[in-house]
Each structure stands twice: as structure tokens, then as C-alpha cells.
Structure 1
Amino acid sequence: MNLKFHLIIAFFISFISIIGFGLVSLFITDQKIVHFDRTVIDHIQGMESTNLTLFMKFFTFIGSGQFTVILGLFILFFLYKVLRHRSELILFTAAVLGSAVLNGILKHFFHRMRPDFHRLIEIGGYSFPSGHAMNAFTVYSILSFLLWRHITSKWGRGVLIFGSIVMILAIGISRIYLGVHYPSDIIGGYFASGFWITTAILSFQIYKEKQYNKKHKRSKDVA
């Protein structure tokens, strides 16, 4: 696929993400999403059980900053030592760190307090958008992008995408179940991360295209 096609896809995803995030933030500001949030929370927390709580705590740990650092180091090692794709180290690092910075900025801008209906764990900080949701979306989206080209079979690619979607959704739902986020926090986090990831990947693709053109031009000049 050429760069022009990537630009069109990136613009479309960015546009949808910005509109989606804008609508969610507007509904939160105007208190028009309270009924939706409470309905979803009641439904998810209504399934509470000892085993499900342990399951959700496991997924919320996977989406935590501590685990993301460990996973990130492993991925960086894999990219550098196994795949030998050093330029992709920059993409992954910039995407993950940028997502964390963007989340902090947005949280302090909106100042939304966390729900206090029925918490199964205690945590501080602001609620919107969810840092776990943004972490999950960023890490597993970038991971899928980087590994896609190295998996040739449709079955393998299907497993990659399915696994990433499951992880992203499970981590987001775990935050609602544990009572530390509204559903709109999770949705807003996905939209914010979607915009950021699209920007990061597009910038990477433009950089790779320029590098390829320079290399191709040098080869012609030598010939």
C-alpha cells in the first residue's frame, strides 16, 4: 500500500477518533452521559463474584504502568535483537511515552473525579480519560502494527488481531468492574489513544517512505 492510501486511512481514523472523543467529553461536561455510565456499571458490577474479581484484577494489572514498562522492555529487546528493526524502537517508545503524557494532560484538563458507587480497589487521581484504556489501546495496537508484517498466514494475523482486541477490551472492562472508572472514561481513552496511535504510525510511515526514496535515489546515482 502506498503512502497516499495510508494518508487517507490515517485521516479517516483520526477524524473518527477526534469526533468520538469530542462527543464523549462534551456529554461528560454537560452531564448527559450519567444514565449511560450508571446503567453499564450496574450491569457489569452485577456479575460480581470472587473468581471474576480475581480475573479482573489480573487484567487491570496487565494494563498498569508497571506491567507496561516490563512488557515494553521485552518488546524493545525483541525488536532490537531478534527482528533487527531498530527504527521501530523509536516508534514503540514514542507511542507509549506519548500516550502517557497525553493522558496526564487530558486528566488535568477535565478534572473528572472517579466513581464512588462500589469500589473493589482503591486508587487516586482523576478519572477521564482512563490511563489503563489508553495504555492497552496504545501498546496492543502498536504491537499488532509491528508484528503484522512478520506474520504471513491469515490465521496468524487473525489470532494477532483477535488477541489484541480481547486484551484491550478486557483491560477496559476490568476498570469498570473494579469501580475505578466510568464506561465513558474507557471509551474516551480508546478514542484519545486512537488519535495518538494514528499520528505516530503515520509519522513513522512517512519517515520510512523518505528513507526508502533516499536509498533508492542513491542507488540510481551510483548506477
Structure 2
Amino acid sequence: MKFNLQLLIAFFGSLFCFIIMSYLVQAEHLVVFDRLVIDAVQGFEADGLTVAMKFFTYIGSLKFIVILTLPIFLFLFYVLRHRLEILVFLSVVYITPILNRLLKLYFHRARPDINRLIEIGGYSFPSGHAMNAFSCYSILAFLLWRHVPSRLGRVTVIILSAFMILAIGLSRVYLGVHYPSDIIGGFLASGLWVAAVIWFFQRYKEKLEIPKRAH
């Protein structure tokens, strides 16, 4: 029950923060913040770092994540034999791009035009890469965390997941295709979606366990 309460707090906290962020973006109150962060991040521009950032932006793309789902599906199905967890993973990963598309169509925010290192079309807020990365790597961390017995192993899973999410988000700012507020908005939007899915998953698991306890 404590974990379910934490999930509800995460959901409504993410929702509240996303609403605030959306207002600030639409009211153009984050122009200075976005520019300061962009200038600071792009101030580290170097050939080697650009290659690394392009790599991180690729592994946060929908194309790569769709490819990644195949080995994860096989691992969950044949190794862990947890079919319900497959549905949890797929529902998070494949519905996230749909949510992102709807949000972008609603907000219609143009992408930044400051020292772009790659070219890309479409709207800017919230970042699709940020949403894809947060959804994919956070739900993957949750599913793996449940099967890692050691404390060190669990901490490692969380750290690696957080690193991937942050690196992908940072790469979009570095490459000049997103404002920092786009990235934060993407993390918040995916955060509320992931929290909602995990909450329903936990509730369903608890209902399945009640008859077992009765016997």
C-alpha cells in the first residue's frame, strides 16, 4: 500500500508540474532560462562530444526503442516467463509516442533555431526523445529491479536508467533541436504515464494475490 501511495504522489506531482511547465512555456516565461541553459550546454561543443550526443539521441529515438523491445520481449517471455510484465512494458513504450504526438499538436511550439547540429522537423514541446527515453528506461528499470536480489544490483539498475534518460535529454539540447523546457516537459509527461501504468499493475497484482492468501 505504501508503494501505491508513492505512485499516486508521483502521478499527481508530475501532472501538477507538467501543467505549470505548460503554462510557463505558453506564456513565454522560460525564454531566458532556456537560452542560458542552451548556451551553457553548447559551450562544451567538441567533435568527440558531438559524436557521443548523436549516439545518445539515436538510442532515444522511436526507431531504436522499437528495435529494443524485441530482445526485452523475448527475455520477459522466455526467461522470466512474466507475460503480464510484457503488457506493462509494451503499453508504456508504444502509447508514449501517441501521447507525445497529441501533446505536440496541442502546444504547437516551434523548435529552437540556435546552432543546430542536426536537422529535424516537427514541433518541439514536449520532447519526444525525452518522453521515449523516460518511459522506456524507467519502466525497464522497474521490471528489472523487481528481479534483482542484491541491493547493489538494484542501485546499479537505477543509476544506469537515470544516466540513459538524462544523457538522451541532454543530447537534444546539445544538438540544438530542443529547449531545456521541452526536455523537462517530456520527462514530466512520461512520468505521470509511467506512474499510472505501474499503479494499475500493482493493484492488479494485489487482487490476484488476495485469493492465494485466503487459501
TM-score bin, normalised by smaller chain = over 0.9
> 1:112 corresponds to which letter in structure 2?
R
CA contact (8 A) 2:8 2:199 kept: no
Query: What is aligned with 1:13?
Result: 10
Which runs of 5 or more structure 2 residues have no equivalent in the other structure?
Answer: none
Instruction: Supply the distance in 2 between the matched residues of 1:90 and 1:131 (Cα, whole angstroms).
Output: 22
2:192 to 167, 191, 195: 195
SS at match of 2:110: coil
The answer on 1:44 being equivalent to 2:41 is: yes
Which runs of 5 or more structure 1 residues have no equivalent in the other structure?
Answer: none
SS at match of 1:41: helix
The answer on 1:23 being equivalent to 2:20 is: yes
The answer on 1:180 being equivalent to 2:177 is: yes
TM-score (norm 1): 0.94
The alignment of Structure 1 onto Structure 2 pairs a total of residues equal to: 215
Q: Percentage identity across aligned positions?
A: 54
Instruction: Supply the distance in 2 between the matched residues of 1:71 and 1:153 (Cα, whole angstroms).
Output: 25
Residues 40-67 of structure 1: CA deviation (Å, up to 9, x unaligned): 0001011101000000000000000111
The answer on 1:54 being equivalent to 2:34 is: no
Query: What is aligned with 2:120?
Result: 123
> 1:7 corresponds to which letter in structure 2?
N
Residues 86-131 of structure 1: CA deviation (Å, up to 9, x unaligned): 1111000111112111111101000001001110000111100001
CA contact (8 A) 2:112 2:176 kept: yes
Query: What is aligned with 2:147?
Result: 150
Residues 120-149 of structure 1: CA deviation (Å, up to 9, x unaligned): 000111100001001111111111110112
C-alpha RMSD of matched pairs (Å): 1.0
Instruction: Supply the distance in 1 between the matched residues of 2:84 and 2:101 (Cα, whole angstroms).
Output: 26
TM-score (norm 2): 0.97
User: Following superposition, which runs of at least 4 residues in structure 1 exceed 6 angstroms of deviation?
Assistant: none
Query: What is aligned with 1:85?
Result: 82
Give the superposition deviation at 1:215: 4.3
Query: What is aligned with 1:104?
Result: 101
> 2:103 corresponds to which letter in structure 1?
L
